[in-house]
Structure 1
Amino acid sequence: MTFVPLTRLPWRRANKNHRSLPHHWVDPISLPRRIDAWRHWLDDQPGGRWLLCQRHPEDFCAALIALWESGRIAVLPADDRPETLSRLAAEADGTLPDTPGDHSVSQHEAAALAYPEALAPASTAVVLYTSGSTGDPVRLAKRFDQLDAELAAHADLWPLTGSCVISQVSHQHIYGLLTGVLHPLCAGILFCGDESRYPEVLAARIQEAGDAGLAPVVVSSPAQLSRLPEHLPWGESPHPTRVFSSGAPLAAEHAQHAERLLRTTVIEIYGSTETGGIAHRRQTQDISWQALPGVQLSLSNEHLTLRSPFLEDPGSWWQQPDRVAPTTDGFELLGRVDRVVKIAGKRVSLDRVERTLADMPEVHEARCVDLDRADGRLGVVVALQDEAVPHQHDTRYALIQRLRARLSPHLERVAIPRYWRFVDALPSNAQGKLDRSLINRLFADLDDTKAPRWLGERHPDPSSCLLTLEVPERLIFLEGHFEEYPLVPGVVMVQWAIELAGESFGELGEFQGVERLKFQRVLRPGVRFTLRLTRRNDGIAFAIDSHEGRHCAGQVRLQAQGGGRHG
């Protein structure tokens, strides 16, 4: 099937794909039956705006299209965390459940569910949320004509004939929605997502596509591409046709790393939720950005303005909050222009703080953030070279003093950041951004005196998680507990493992007991440690380690409500 715009209902025109792939792949021809089930469920529901947050692409597509065909609007939260859904509840008339229940639709009922011949181009299709310049969520609506214009540009530059798409990023955001779901849907080709964010799963999906005689296209992000492991058999798998990256600029060494391992072209897309796509590049050949088809650019005095069919008002010029420098065949990004805050009445450039810190040899990257705290002081997240990472209170304090001294010639004392977090790499969401939810998590221990200090996590595979944590010096459990030699009680370590497993894997069930529990070393305030969690059929296994060695390990038995066991 050639490219069909969303307004012409490509899912109702899809042809059978004569390729056999496992059930985690989405075939557009299978969608109408699932769409009709949702349509039948929606017939009994009032309201025109619905929160939609489905992890699996097929469930997401079916529910999204049912909303569209019934004249409703999909409100897409950035994530499915309870606090996010609670905050956005007022933005919608309801939240779609995981499934439409037992609303199976007979052929007769399906025939009665007349679908429109076309969708109105000027109608709102989705409402999305972006972090904006401050990291706080900003609400944005997208019409069908905006989405179709951008999808047509993608189809012009990167046609998908004979391909399939593997997405590592969330379809709840505009980049993942367009590139990982809607473009393959409009092209009538197979696509998948779900657990593909794990490198091992990505390698398996690439192999599945090759075995089916399809050329895979990978939709990824800087965070995913920077962490592609060398040990997986990339060279034995079919290589993708191309890899996309968006959400943040991709470091040159990571672009080279991804192209070498995956043996293909890595294409970056620059844009935002507000503007849609603006430009693209393959930086291993040219660091300049070139405008997407239909996008007009104006570059003057380091300012970028644009006019685009992807904007809410295509005829007006939009001021992009990025500094740029023109090149012979495009432009180069220089950084943001709007990252200036006032601290005690003093204007502070967050970019300048970051650049000053990044000039230090032990600093790989820094991100300065306004925490919006009552004291008005700033926070900094610093990615350090391995040998500079502090592992205990004394070395952490000494490092902070050295970094503050570096900033003191450039900032007044009150403007120097007060809160510091040291990480191996800047945490990022599915779009490769350090957004407000991650910032809140990094600094959550300032207000929660019972939690460890979270510094990042990795998911080597769907059943395991490795968290990097620190023991906050103000941890409430240290009070009155060996005042001359404070340490973390063993029961607290076990409780941390259970609580963080619930955050990593979802609700695991009721506590049934602990087995093979062994404490080997005390855990002191200020110590940096890792918590390794492994999901088991009957609960979790955990281990706490630091540079000193193993502190604690054990297994926690958990049982799902109703007596079921976890697989």
Structure 2
Amino acid sequence: MTFTPLSQAPWRRPAPHVRALPSDWVSPASLPARVGAWRRWLAGRPGGQWLLYQRNPGEFCSALIALWESGRVAVLPADDRPETLARLANEVEGTLPDAPDVPEVVGQDIPPPLALSPSSTAVVLYTSGSTGDPISLAKRFDQLDAELAAHAKLWPLTGTAVISQVSHQHIYGLLTGILHPLCAGVPFCGDTSRYPEVLAARLEEAGSAERKSVVVSSPAHLSRLPDHLPWAQRLAPCRVFSSGAPLAAVHARQAEHLLHAPVVEIYGSTETGGIAQRRQTRSSTWDPLPGVRLSFKGERLLLRSAFLDTPDAWWQQPDRVAPAANGFALLGRADRLVKIAGKRVSLAHIERTLAETPEVTEARCVDLGRSDGRLGVVIALISEAIPHCHEARRDLIKRLRARLSKHLEPVAIPRYWRFVEVLPCNPQGKLDQGLIRRLFADLDDTRAPRWLGELSSGADTCTLTLEVPERLAYLEGHFEDYPLVPGVVMVQWAIELARESFGQQGDFQGLERLKFQRPLQPGIRFSLDLTRREDGIAFAFISREGRHCAGRVRLRYQDGVGASHE
């Protein structure tokens, strides 16, 4: 079956023969009966816009078509969290149930299906769903058809079966996992395919039906492909798609190695639809999709395409780019939106939500660029709310996460938390990248304390605010039932942090007046008072519990500034 545009109702054309596949697959021949059930359910109900959230791809597709054929518009929330649905419920006529649940009445008349106008609205999507202040975007049939035609030109689906690991509630999964196979008349499946074990089973099922697979995936899924599953070459898909966020080059190579198939990334957004594509194992630059015109203004990307709401107007992307060959290279986002596991997250929205908490005076959410893709957040609290031990810190994070969970999907909630009384700033009054790296340095250096700020009261004195990380490497062996920081580690911390605060120090000569007064345990927040002396440094570790350790370090200065007392 050749490609048929949505506006020409490909589901009403004779379905091609498809060798039997298990019930998890959606066959083109199975759609008309389910569409009829949904149309009977909709009969007599108001027109207009209806919320459609359905994990099952067959039920989703059937309900979507029924809405179209009855002159209605599908509104696709990004998730089914109660807060999301409650917010959108006031803007639509109703919400579709999980199933139509209507008896089939012999001779029941329902209106004939309406012809679809290319200029009519097909779906309403949301740019960031529950992860920010959502912006609704309507997509007409002509926009969807233009983009689907570009997909069909680049990646025809004849003789294939499509396996989707991503949600069809978003534009990428909707186009590649549902609408393209629908227009091509090929079987498709999704839902539980997001699990690697199920993906392997689906590949085998498609192979048994003598069909090549196309896998619609994401960086989050491809980065977690296990190598112990039987990714046999005889079951290799003909193509793997990835979108939602840049795919790390190492994960692109690993996915191609395991699945024995090319991995094609699609770059775009809800507003623009697809913009460009690349196969990263061959080139890191992005090539525009058919019909997409590019222009560059400094580091900003401008584009025109029939996928846009206004095809003749130039659209400016928020990403920074550099022209390269026939396409461009991505340099990173210019705004405060990031993508976490393929979901767009507003850092400003997270900050505003946290700032509504009574004890929070300011919050700064940061993309740490870590391999797990998770966010960090620095929160300034009133002094009474500052956590001083592991239990208090854990409980505070739990409460703040609960507040965010009303607005965010779990993967979008920050994973790394730092609590301060005042946001640390550079001389220009900004929380710059250097300070951010220092705040989160203990994530990569398991020997370091957690740095939370520094206050200098003169050239020779400063006080650092620190925490003992729960995963500090030195806790191992000291002791299983009562872990504590070894005394020698505290001394070493004092020397190293004095070097960072005061500059280069001299050679170690010895210790004086060293006292250990109470143990320093995981999660304890403490201050390190440092004083530069003529012959070295004096230090004291002090927490709310009292003094833990104090002493002096004698140093021989190499430049002769100080002298050791020997």
CA distance in 1, matches of 2:123, 2:16: 28
Name the residue aligned to 1:121: 118
TM-score, normalised to structure 2, is: 0.64
Q: What TM-score results when the alignment is normalised by the length of structure 1?
A: 0.64
1:509-528 equivalences in 2 (<5 Å): none
CA shift digits 1:428-456 (9 cap, x unpaired): xxxxxxxxxxxxxxxxxxxxxxxxxxxxx
The separation in 2 between residues aligned to 1:423 and 1:34, in whole angstroms, is 55
Work out whether 1:264 is the aligned partner of 2:250: no
How far has the Cα of 1:115 moved from its partner? 1.6
Which residue does the alignment assign to 1:88? 88
Distance 1:153 1:376 in 2: 46
Please tell me whether the aligned partners of residues 385 and 424 of structure 1 are also in contact (alpha carbons under 8 angstroms). no
Report what 1:74 is aligned to.
74
SS at match of 2:294: strand
Distance 1:300 1:173, change over 3 A: same
1:378 aligned partner: 364
Whether the 8 Å contact between 1:381 and 1:422 is mirrored in structure 2 is no
Is the alpha carbon distance of 1:96 and 1:207 closer, same or farther for their aligned partners in structure 2, counting shifts above 3 Å?
same
The CA distance in 2 between the partners of 1:74 and 1:47, in whole Å, is 11
Residue of structure 1 in register with 2:247 after alignment: 250
1:332-343 to 2 correspondences below 5 Å? 332-339=329-336
Residues 1:32 and 2:12 aligned together: no
User: SS of the counterpart of 1:234?
Assistant: coil
Once the 2 structures are TM-superposed, how far is the Cα of residue 304 of structure 1 from its aligned partner? 0.3
Which of these residues, 298, 302, 306, is aligned with residue 303 of structure 2?
A: 306
Counterpart residue number, 1:198: 195
Give 1:29 deviation, angstroms.
1.4
Q: Aligned ranges for residues 222-237 of structure 1 at < 5 Å? A: 222-235=219-232
In structure 1, C-alpha distance between the alignment counterparts of 2:215 and 2:298, rounded to whole Å: 36
Distance 1:13 1:102 in 2: 25
CA contact (8 A) 1:383 1:423 kept: no
Question: Partners of 1:122 and 1:367 in 2: how far apart?
Answer: 31
State the partner residue of 2:4.
Answer: 4
* Cα gap change, 1:217 to 1:422, in 2 (>3 Å): farther
> Contact 2:425–2:431 (CA<8 Å) still a contact in 1?
no
1:30 Cα deviation from its structure 2 partner = 1.0
Cα deviation 1:213-243 (Å, max 9, x = unaligned): 0000000001000110111111265100000
How many Å apart are 1:207 and its aligned residue? 0.6
Deviation track 1:339-372 (CA, whole Å, cap 9, x = no partner) reads 39xxxxxxxxx99xxxxxxxxxxxxxx9966511
Shift in Å at residue 16 of structure 1? 3.5
Q: Contact (CA 8 Å) 2:319, 2:331: kept in 1 or not?
A: yes
Would the aligned equivalents of 2:150 and 2:289 in 1 still touch at CA under 8 Å? Answer: yes
Aligned to 1:517: none
1:387-423 per-residue CA deviation (whole Å, 9 max, x = no partner) reads xxxxx949x99x9889999985486367867998999
Q: Is the 8 A contact 1:290 1:329 kept in 2?
A: yes
How far did residue 100 of structure 1 move?
1.1
Higher mean C-alpha displacement, 83-92 vs 285-294: 83-92
Q: What is the percentage of aligned positions where both structures have the same residue?
A: 60
Runs of at least 5 residues in structure 2 that lack an aligned partner in the other structure: 340-344, 373-388, 395-415, 445-468, 471-481, 483-520, 525-566
Mapped partners of 1:367, 1:64: distance in 2: 29
Shift of the alpha carbon at 1:305?
0.5
Cα offsets for 1:118-160 (capped at 9, x unmatched): 3001110000011299843211100000000000000000000
Post-superposition shift, 1:18? 3.1
Separation in 2, partners of 1:39, 1:385 = 46
Alignment partner of 1:258: what SS?
helix
Choose which of 162, 179, 182 in structure 2 pairs with 1:182: 179
1:271 CA drift (Å): 0.3
Rounded to whole Å, the distance in 2 between the matches of 1:299 and 1:316 is: 14
Shift of residue 40, structure 1, vs aligned partner: 1.1
The 1:281–1:405 alpha-carbon spacing in structure 2 relative to 1, beyond 3 Å, is: farther
Q: Give the number of the structure whose alpha-carbon radius of gyration is greater.
A: 2
Shift of 1:172: 0.4
Aligned-partner residue type, residue 68 of structure 1: W
Moved more, 128-137 or 93-102: 128-137
Question: Where does residue 314 of structure 2 map in the other structure?
Answer: 317
Query: Quick one: distance in 2 between partners of 1:424 and 1:137?
Result: 32
Deviations 1:29-70 (A, max 9, x none): 111111111111111211311100011011001111000000
Given that residues 78 and 130 in structure 2 are in contact (C-alpha distance below 8 angstroms), is that contact kept between their aligned partners in structure 1?
A: no
Match among 266, 280, 284 for residue 283 of structure 1: 280
Query: How many angstroms does 1:187 deviate by?
Result: 0.3
Contact 1:287/1:332, CA 8 A, preserved across alignment: yes
Give the distance between the partners of 1:291 and 1:335, measured in 2 at CA: 18
2:48 maps to what in 1? 48
Structure 2 CA distance for partners of 1:424 and 1:278, relative to 1, 3 Å: farther
Q: Is the 8 A contact 1:247 1:270 kept in 2?
A: yes
Task: Tell whether the 8 Å contact from 1:380 to 1:420 is kept in structure 2 after alignment.
Answer: no
Taking structure 1 as reference, are residues 424 and 137 closer, same or farther at Cα in structure 2, changes over 3 Å only? farther
Change in CA separation of 1:402 and 1:136 when aligned onto 2, cut-off 3 Å: closer
- Aligned partners of 1:422 and 1:99: how far apart in 2? 50
Whether contact under 8 Å (1:215, 1:240) holds in the other structure is yes
Supply the distance in 2 between the matched residues of 1:414 and 1:301 (Cα, whole angstroms): 26
| Residues 206 and 237 in structure 1, CA contact (< 8 A), matched pair in contact too | no
Distance 2:301 2:183 in 1: 31
Structure 2 distance, partners of 1:293, 1:304, is 17
Residues 481-520 of structure 1 correspond to what in structure 2 (within 5 A)?
Answer: none
> What is the alpha-carbon distance in structure 2 between the residues aligned to residue 60 and residue 188 of structure 1?
16
Distance 1:525 1:80, change over 3 A: farther
* Partner-residue secondary structure (3-state), 1:371: helix
